Amino acid sequence: MLNPYREDISKLRVTSPFGMRNVNANGVGDIHKGIDFVSDGDKTLVAIGDGGIITSTMVTDPNNSTSEWGNYVRLDLDSGWRVYYCHLRERLVTVGQRVRKGDVIGVEGSTGYSSGSHLHFEIRPAGASTEAVNAADFIGILNVIGNVTPIITEPPQDAEYEKFKRLMVHYLTETAADETVSEWAVDARKWAMDNGISDGTMPQRFIKREELWAMFERFEKILFKGGILIMNMIEQIENNFMYHAPKEGQPEIYQKIRDKAKEFAYLINELVPDSREKSLAMTKLEEVVMWANAGIARQ
Ligand SMILES: [Zn+2]
């Protein structure tokens, strides 16, 4: 993922995701074209890639007070994408300056139309379009309120899981609120909230949010928990029937076990009369040696 802060992502929160917000009962709302972040630690902002500073300015209204994006910086990446860092307390770059990924841009603040210190982070394609892309997708995090969660792409089964989770979160965060929860959905609701998939509010859509919680919870249990169990079993079978070349020190240990077993075998041979039972005891003793050695080899 790309991080617009110098601070570790564990200290960052998304306070307003990209997309529709303030949706009323008629489905009317406005589009939040950026994503809002708050850092609970270092509030220094950094370039998410190499590029040039195109704008570094303070937006003011006719009364000369700070408005709109307030103190903001526009960084054009070498790839053409336009990156906006808005509401800054301080701008620490000048127009025309070249920056490398990780270089300081400014400091999170509350200038312009802002009710508290945060970064409005917006990404637009090359050109003059005022349309923005989903900045969360662009930098590789979940577009959801709460602690910043990177989209994990490894290992493969997690990538599928994260893709599904992202789709669900995307659906859930673009909907209006209704707090009623059916009795049958209480567990699923708790699970969805514990796993950071939903803040617990409910949409007014053709599929209820509680139905999605339940679907998702079952999906996770059946496909992923089940899938992982199957994966573990396959791994175990592979391990059981794999040839393990002896590692350093192991041949000596095998020999120690064989020597002790041989001693025991001679004792049995001497004390036990020839019989089916004696023969079985010898076979079992061989088995003991075999399992003990396998236990060492498969580690
Ligand atoms: Zn914003």
Helical spans, DSSP H, in the chain: 135-139, 156-173, 186-194, 209-219, 226-240, 250-271, 276-297
Share of the chain above pLDDT 90, in %: 45
Centroid of ligand 1 to alpha carbon of 148 (angstroms): 15
| CB neighbour class for 54 (10 Å; exposed up to 12, middle 13-18, buried from 19) | middle
C-alpha 86 to ligand 1 mean position (Å): 8
Q: What is the pTM of this model?
A: 0.53
Which tens digits make up the pLDDT trace of 27-61? 667 789 999 999 999 999 999 999 999 999 999 88
122 CA distance to ligand 1 centroid (A)?
A: 8
Token digits of residue 75? 């960084």
Q: How far is C-alpha 132 from the geometric centre of its chain's CA atoms? A: 23
| Model confidence band, residue 136 (pLDDT cutoffs 50, 70, 90) | very high
Write out the two tokens for 211: 């139905």
Question: Look-up: residue for tokens 């339940």?
Answer: 214
Domain ranges for the chain: 9-150, 163-240, 250-297
| Beta-carbon neighbours within 5 Å of ion ligand 1 | 34, 36, 120
Cα 114 to averaged position of ligand 1 atoms, centre (Å): 9
Question: Looking at the domain that runs over 9-150, which CATH code has it been given?
Answer: 2.70.70.10
Q: How far is the CA of 120 from the centre of ligand 1 (A)?
A: 4
Residue pair 240/215 in contact by the 8 Å Cβ criterion: no
